[in-house]
Amino acid sequence: MNKKIQSALISVFYKEGLEDIVRLLHSLDIQIYSTGGTQQFIEKLDVPCVPVESLTSYPSILGGRVKTLHPSVFGGILGRRDNETDLMEMKQFKIPEIDLVIVDLYPFEETVASTKEEKLIIEKIDIGGPSMIRAAAKNFKDLVVVASKSEYSLLGQMLKEQDGATTIEQRRRFAAKAFQVVAHYDIAIYNYFHPENEWKVLNEAPQHTLRYGENPHQKGLFYGDWNKIFNQLHGKEISYNNLVDIDAAIQLIREFKTTSFAIIKHTNVCGIASRPSVADAWRDALAGDPESAFGGVLICNAAIDKATADAISEIFFEVLIAPSFEQDALKILQSKKNRILLQLAPNAPVAKSMYKSVLNGTLMQDIDEGNFEKWEETGGRNSSAQEKEDLIFANLVCKHLKSNAIALVKNKQLVGKGCGQTSRVDSLRQAIQKAKQFNFKLKDAVLASDAFFPFNDCVEIAHGEGIGAFVQPGGSIRDKDSIEYCKQHNLAMVITGMRHFKH
C-alpha cells in the first residue's frame, strides 16, 4: 500500500548530501522535525524546521546524551496507523505521526581507528540513533527509515518519481538495510570491548558484485571494503580468484622486512626471493619456477622501478601489487589494458581472524601469526649463520604453502616446493623434482616442513640430494628417528614447536 509522507524526523551526524533531501522534502510540503546540529543545518538553508524539544518539552540534556529518547518521539514512530487504540492514545497525548525517519549513527569505528582515548570512544556509542532506527524499521508498514547517507540518492529518486509517496515493498527494503546498519554498529562496539574474540556481521551487504565465483557457473560477491587495503591503478575488473590470490600474496609479503618479491599461483608461493634490489628479487623469484609464474599474482614490498617493470612485462601475469610505482614503471606496466595494478595502502588494516563456511555454519580461527615458538638445535651440529637465515626464510615460505608442505631454500631464494600432497614424502619428491627441473643444485640448501616428520624418510631422501639443514615443528612420537639420523650424518635439525598447517 502506498503511503504519502506528511512529516519527517531528521537527526544525522554526517551532513553530506543532506541539503538536496531537505529541499526536496520542503518542496513536497513535508513537515520536518529535527534537533541539535541537524536542526541548525536545516535552518541555515531557510527551510522551516520544528525543534524536537517542542514535542518533548525537554531540552537536550546530559551533554547531548538525551535528546530524542521520549514517548512523544517514539510514539510518533511506533504508532500503528491501522490500530484505533494507538491512534486514540497519540491524539490524547498530542503525539504527531512521523512518516519518514532519517537518522545515522555516531562515527564509532572511525573514532576507534583515530584515538586510544576511551572517553572519546565511549561518547561515540550512539544510543538514540539505533533506537530510532530500530523503531522505524519495526514499523515499516507505516513509515520509511533511512539509516545511511548512501541511501539518500535512492530516497530522493523515489520521492520525486512518486510525489512523496512510498510503497510497502520500498519501505521493507529500507527497513532491512536499517537493521543491517544497526547490526554492524553493534558488532563494532562488541569488538571494541572484546578484541580477543572479534565478531563479524557475515551477511552484511556486499560492496562488490563479482563477474562470477570460483567458476563461471557460480555467483560471486565480496563483503567488505577492499579500498582500505589497496587502490586499483589499472586493469580489468578484479575477479573472485584474483581476490583469493591477492589475499594470499599480501599475507605472505607481510612476513618479510627486507626487499622481497613473490609470485602466487592458486594461493601457493611458486617463487620468492629476498635481494638488495627489486630487480634482483624479481629475477630470482621468477627463476624459482618460471613455468608456474605464468598468469600468476605478483607482489613486492618495495617500489617498482623502470628496470623491474621492463623485466616483469616479459611474462603474462594477472595482478601486480606493490606499495608504490615509479612513473616510468607505471607507464610500461599500463601498456596492457587488462593487467591489474594495485597499490597497497599504507598501514592497511590486518585481519586478526579468518572465517570459513563449513556444513551449515562457519568456522572461525585466529590468523596464523609468528614463525616459531622456540629455536631448538637438535641435530648433529648447529645450523650455520647462513643456514639459520635460510631456515627462517624457508619456514615463513612453508607457512604459506598448502599442506602437506615442503619448502627448499638456498640463499633466501625458494628453489623447490611441494604442496597440497596427501603425504609429506610426496611433497618432498615434488619439491626436489621442481628444483631439478629448473637446474638448481641442492647442495647446501635447507628444508622446511609445515608439520612434523612422522618417519625419517624425508630427512634421508633430502640428505641424499645434498640438503644439510632442516626446520620443523616437531611433535611426533617418532621425532627421535629424524633427530638421530641428523646426528649420525652431522646434519642440522631445528625444532620450532609451531606447526603451520594450511588447508
Contact between 441 and 466 (Cβ < 8 Å) = yes
Q: Quick one: which H or E segment has residue 357? A: strand 353-358
Please list, in sequence order, all residues whose beta carbon lies within 8 angstroms of the beta carbon of residue 291, skipping any fewer than 6 positions away.
Answer: 437
Closest CA to 272 of 448, 433, 398: 398
Q: Are strands 100-103 and 353-358 parallel, antiparallel or unpaired?
A: unpaired
Tell me which of 266, 306, 436, 489 is the catalytic residue: 266
C-alpha cell at 422: 596427501
C-alpha cell at 263: 609470485
Amino acid at 381: R
Tell me which of 138, 149, 200, 436 is the catalytic residue: 138
C-alpha cell at 183: 547490526
What is the rounded distance in angstroms from the CA atom of residue 433 to the CA atom of residue 455?
21
Amino acid at 90: M
DSSP string, 206-256: PSEE-S-SSSTTS--EE-S-GGGTEEEEESSPPPHHHHHHHHHHHHHHTT-
Beta bridge mates, 299: 262, 321
Closest CA to 11 of 111, 123, 128: 128
> What sections of 288-342 are H helices per DSSP?
306-312, 327-333
C-alpha cell at 90: 497519540
What is the rounded distance in angstroms from the CA atom of residue 85 to the CA atom of residue 80?
9
Is 265 considered catalytic here? no
Vertex 203: Cα angle to 201 and 207 (nearest 5): 100
Within 49-123, strands assigned E span 50-51, 100-103
DSSP SS3 for 31: strand
Is 119 considered catalytic here? no
Please list, in sequence order, all residues whose beta carbon lies within 8 angstroms of the beta carbon of residue 405, skipping any fewer than 6 positions away.
Answer: 398, 417, 418, 419, 420, 427, 449, 450, 500, 502
Beta bridge mates, 431: none
What is the rounded distance in angstroms from the CA atom of residue 41 to the CA atom of residue 23?
12
Please list, in sequence order, all residues whose beta carbon lies within 8 angstroms of the beta carbon of residue 91, skipping any fewer than 6 positions away.
Answer: none
Please list, in sequence order, all residues whose beta carbon lies within 8 angstroms of the beta carbon of residue 22, skipping any fewer than 6 positions away.
Answer: 10, 32, 42, 45, 47
Give catalytic residues, as residue numbers.
138, 266
